Structure 1
Amino acid sequence: MRAAERRSRFCQADAVRLLLILSEVGHAATESDPENATKVIDSQIAFLARDFWVRYPDYLADELIDMAIANGEVEHLEQAERLLDDPTIDFDWLPMVRWKNGAYWWMTDAIAILVSNRLIEYLPKFSANGVAQHRYCLTQTGEAFINSELAGVGEFDAIRTRAELAALIDPSAPGTQLKVKQYAVEEYANTTQGSTIPSRLEDVRLRAKKVREEWI
């Protein structure tokens, strides 16, 4: 496969993942949004933070364990255990690089695919210094596409499940607060700029096992 074809496929996969995250994480559209909008994420920082947890299911599981301990709810521990027990987890994570403000990747090409197919609307607000706010709206067309083309497909169901779980983490928190939460994890914070954020899979598995033993 040629390099250009590989890049195109990766970009299409990124677009599908972002579409599913927007569907599961976005808040309900309001009267101020486009008439055909159904869900909205109004911050690129928040979008990237939620995407990080979808791409790193071990970090997502760790957050669910935190929630289980904080709330005394075994359901969140069970959700974490299902993620960690998934046989595909060892190769199904999608690495991200840490830049100045944390995990980041250039979303523009994937967003352009979604916009050009009318699956989402992208509504940036500008200031003198550039884009002041990024606003992403899932359209009715995008919602119909998810239900008709992506539902019941194994790899997409896995992404959708992770997005659903990522939406449970401080659902009303702004993106900056979500980034603070991610920086509280030592491995994330200590990753040097320009390097790939490492997996924590084995450590999180041990933590889940320890918490389970304490709760028995």
Structure 2
Amino acid sequence: MENALAPPDSDAPATSREQDAVRLLLLIHGAGERPNAFELADPALADAVGVVRSQVRLQKLDFWLRNPDYLADELLTDFEASRELRLLQLAGEILDSEEPEVRRYPMLRHHFGAYEPLDDALAVLRSAGLIARRRRGTVDRVRQHDYYLLKAGEQVAGQIVHDAPAFGYYVDRVALVVALADGLGGTDLKKRQYLQREYAQAARGTRIGPVSTRARARLAQLREQHQTDQDAGDQ
């Protein structure tokens, strides 16, 4: 088994294996970087079009995809640093809607942060020839898992969104997640997510709680502050 299974909370919203498979396919499609020449020399990866390096990175990106309230709160953090109005607007689009409630699928707090068993969903994608996995390390110690999007996976990802436009939601949110994670490896993403107290203080083996109430209050405060600054600038 690639992941050790921990018991979920009985009242936590859950996804099906098929839902997880589609979400992860769209995530790997949107977040993958170009494989290098050495990787493409592997006959099994010859038609690979993207790769997400490390299970840690995949899990951390998936956390923001599954938890829109945390994603919006991080957008607010970036807005405070850059004062880029578009970030405030994007956070508002999420927090002004029911998205943090209806799209939230909480993850377990594991030894190394947010975690959810992904074996079954990834097995669906691998058995269908949509992705490939490679282990890095030694026979005795696997150091890293990398996930490669194959050409067939790219085609299926596009077909899914074409046939079921509702899945375009994930395409849009993956783009936000990738932009938020720009330049950060899996370990850096883990460190950033640990800055959220609800995340860091969750007991191991329990679901990480929401931040939607706090994020909405923060949004209102930043909007008021922005309006005050704008009014002052107009005088």
Q: What amino acid maps onto 2:31 in structure 1?
A: V
Q: Pick from 116, 123, 127: which aligns with 1:116?
A: 127
- Provide closer, same or farther for how the CA distance between residues 154 and 202 of structure 1 changes in structure 2, counting only shifts above 3 A: farther
| Mapping of residues 1-216 of structure 1, within 5 Å | 10-33=16-39, 34-151=45-162, 153-216=164-227
Equivalent residue, structure 1, for 2:3: none
How far apart, CA to CA, are the structure 2 residues paired with 1:37 and 1:178? Answer: 25
Deviations 1:119-142 (A, max 9, x none): 111111242443211110111111
Deviations 1:125-165 (A, max 9, x none): 24244321111011111111111122363541222222111
Deviations 1:43-75 (A, max 9, x none): 100100000000000000011111111111011
5+ long unaligned stretches in structure 1: 1-8
Deviations 1:99-136 (A, max 9, x none): 11111111111111101111111111242443211110
Equivalent residue, structure 2, for 1:4: none
How far apart, CA to CA, are the structure 1 residues paired with 2:191 and 2:159? Answer: 37
Instruction: Choose 1 or 2 for highest CA Rg.
Output: 2
Q: What is the aligned-residue identity percentage?
A: 33
Q: What amino acid maps onto 2:37 in structure 1?
A: E
Q: Is the 8 A contact 2:131 2:150 kept in 1?
A: yes
How far apart, CA to CA, are the structure 2 residues paired with 1:86 and 1:24? Answer: 24
- Provide closer, same or farther for how the CA distance between residues 162 and 116 of structure 1 changes in structure 2, counting only shifts above 3 A: same
SS for the counterpart of 1:198 is coil
TM (normalized to structure 1)? Answer: 0.91
How far apart, CA to CA, are the structure 2 residues paired with 1:204 and 1:155? Answer: 26
Q: Is the 8 A contact 2:35 2:49 kept in 1?
A: yes
TM (normalized to structure 2)? Answer: 0.84
Please, what is the CA RMSD of the aligned residues? 1.5
Q: What amino acid maps onto 1:59 in structure 2?
A: Y
How far apart, CA to CA, are the structure 1 residues paired with 2:70 and 2:163? Answer: 25
Q: What amino acid maps onto 2:158 in structure 1?
A: N
Q: Is the 8 A contact 2:68 2:99 kept in 1?
A: no
How far apart, CA to CA, are the structure 2 residues paired with 1:88 and 1:46? Answer: 24
SS for the counterpart of 1:32 is helix
- Provide closer, same or farther for how the CA distance between residues 147 and 154 of structure 1 changes in structure 2, counting only shifts above 3 A: closer
How far apart, CA to CA, are the structure 2 residues paired with 1:182 and 1:129? Answer: 30
SS for the counterpart of 2:37 is coil
How far apart, CA to CA, are the structure 1 residues paired with 2:23 and 2:83? Answer: 31
- How many residues of Structure 1 are paired with residues of Structure 2 in the alignment? 208
SS for the counterpart of 1:134 is strand
